[in-house]
């Protein structure tokens, strides 16, 4: 019985971890590759959730399709934010203290605006795959976890191909290593960073839709994810996409086992434990550069 429980917890954790990969992808680009500590990322994810919720309730469109359609909007939002960030902080060399405070302000303002617009009620979406489960012997595969996990892995694969195969993607990797060298190759590092940050925020659209499929959402739910995303990003090794995926799965499994055997109210503490242990013993992460 307890063995079945363990297997169930591990499977649920892998599904959860797949979803965490989508949540972390954006931070992995912004923090891992561009050195932009965008702590407002979870707020953008919740924004994505609310957009998926509004259109889903209004027109009955599938949340994942909505999020794909909204990708360009989030991309443009991201480039706009980077432009402000670059002009106000990076250019003046003040990104450490004031840049952080800026993103904290953005996080806070987004959260309060959602709060003013929608109140503190939990919101959820309707889709055919919310509810039914697949059964394989003792293993339960709820579709509301499986579909987000698969969608997340698809997005992750697309991102990985974009970054490792295209010229712009390779330039993003290069900008994280040597900005001057990139300039010598006649590539504008600011443009590359703008594109990369746009991509990073665009992932929040998809992650948000997946979030609202998995659980009901209220404005401050993003806060729980701040510790998680940075823990995964640091554990995976900054800037390493495969590392991020492995770390996301690992955190998902450990959280799920904790929730099954000790109760769900302890789950948020796990991410922090991971983060502190990684920082203390292996700051470069599993697959660090």
Partner 1 sequence: MLPFTLISVTVAIGLFLLIRMPNIEYLFVATYTIVQYVVLTTAWNILGGYTGYVNFGSAAFFALGAYSSVALATFANQLDELVPESIAPMLHLIFPLSIPVLIVIGGVVSGIVGLGMGYLTLRLRGAFFAIATLAMAVVLQTLVVNWEFVGGSSGAYIVRPGEFPGLGSYMQYLFALMLALAVLALVTARAIERSRLGYGFAAIRDDELAAEASGVPTLRLKLIATTLSGTLMGMAGAPFPYYIGYLQPQSAFSLEYAVNSIAMPMIGGTMSWVGPLVGTLLLGTLQQIANVTISSAVNLLLVGLLLIGFVIVAPNGIVGLVQDRLRARRAK
Q: In Å, how far are 37, 38, 100, 102 from 97, measured between CA atoms?
A: 11, 13, 5, 9
Determine, following the binding rule CB under 8 A, whether residue 187 of this chain makes contact with partner 1.
Answer: no
Determine, following the binding rule CB under 8 A, whether residue 94 of this chain makes contact with partner 1.
Answer: yes
Among 101, 161, 162, 181, which residue interacts with partner 1 (rule: CB under 8 A)? 101
Site string for partner 1, 31-50 (x = CB under 8 A): x-----x-x-----------
- Minimum distance, C-beta of residue 70 to partner 1, in the bound complex (Å): 24
Site string for partner 1, 59-88 (x = CB under 8 A): -------------------------x---x
- Minimum distance, C-beta of residue 58 to partner 1, in the bound complex (Å): 25
Stretch that binds partner 1, among 55-63, 93-101, 151-159, 197-205 (CB under 8 A): 93-101
Determine, following the binding rule CB under 8 A, whether residue 264 of this chain makes contact with partner 1.
Answer: no
R_g of the chain, CA atoms, integer Å: 19
Name residues contacting partner 1, limited to 198-257 (CB under 8 A).
Answer: 220, 223-224, 226-227, 230-231, 234
Record the tokens describing residue 244, joined without a space.
């991020």
Are 206 and 66 within 8 A, CB to CB?
A: no
**Other CB atoms within 10 A of residue 75 CB:** 19
Among 33, 64, 106, 149, which residue interacts with partner 1 (rule: CB under 8 A)? 106
Site string for partner 1, 126-165 (x = CB under 8 A): ----------------------------------------
CB closer to partner 1 out of 119 and 132: 119
CB closer to partner 1 out of 160 and 220: 220
Among 97, 180, 185, 186, which residue interacts with partner 1 (rule: CB under 8 A)? 97
- Minimum distance, C-beta of residue 132 to partner 1, in the bound complex (Å): 32
> Which residues of the chain form contacts with partner 1 (CB under 8 A)?
31, 37, 39, 84, 88-89, 92, 94, 96-98, 100-102, 104-106, 108-109, 112-113, 115-116, 220, 223-224, 226-227, 230-231, 234, 265-266, 268-269, 271-273, 275-276, 279-280, 283
């Amino acid at each position: 019985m307890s063995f079945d429980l363990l297997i169930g917890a591990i499977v649920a954790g892998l599904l959860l971890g797949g979803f965490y990969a989508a949540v972390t992808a954006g931070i992995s680009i912004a923090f891992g590759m561009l050195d932009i500590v965008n702590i407002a990322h979870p707020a953008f994810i919740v924004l994505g959730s609310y957009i998926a919720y509004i259109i889903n309730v209004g027109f009955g469109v599938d949340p994942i399709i909505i999020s794909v359609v909204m990708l360009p909007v989030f991309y443009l939002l991201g480039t706009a934010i980077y432009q402000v960030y670059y002009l106000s902080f990076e250019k003046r060399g003040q990104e450490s203290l004031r840049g952080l405070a800026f993103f904290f302000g953005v996080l806070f303002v987004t959260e309060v605006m959602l709060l003013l617009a929608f109140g503190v009620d939990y919101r959820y979406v309707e889709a055919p795959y919310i509810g039914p489960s697949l059964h394989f012997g003792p293993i339960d595969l709820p579709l509301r976890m499986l579909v987000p996990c698969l969608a997340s892995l698809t997005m992750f694969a697309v991102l990985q191909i974009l970054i490792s195969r295209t010229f712009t993607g390779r330039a993003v990797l290069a900008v994280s290593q040597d900005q001057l060298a990139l300039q010598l190759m006649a590539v504008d590092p600011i443009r590359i960073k703008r594109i990369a940050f746009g991509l990073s925020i665009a992932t929040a659209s998809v992650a948000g839709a997946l979030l609202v499929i998995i659980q009901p959402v209220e404005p401050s739910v993003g806060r729980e994810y701040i510790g998680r995303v940075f823990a995964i990003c640091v554990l995976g090794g900054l800037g390493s996409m495969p590392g991020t995926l492995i770390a996301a799965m690992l955190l998902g499994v450990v959280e799920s086992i904790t929730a099954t055997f000790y109760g769900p109210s302890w789950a948020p503490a796990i991410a922090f434990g991971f983060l502190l242990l990684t920082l203390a013993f292996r700051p470069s992460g599993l697959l660090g550069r």
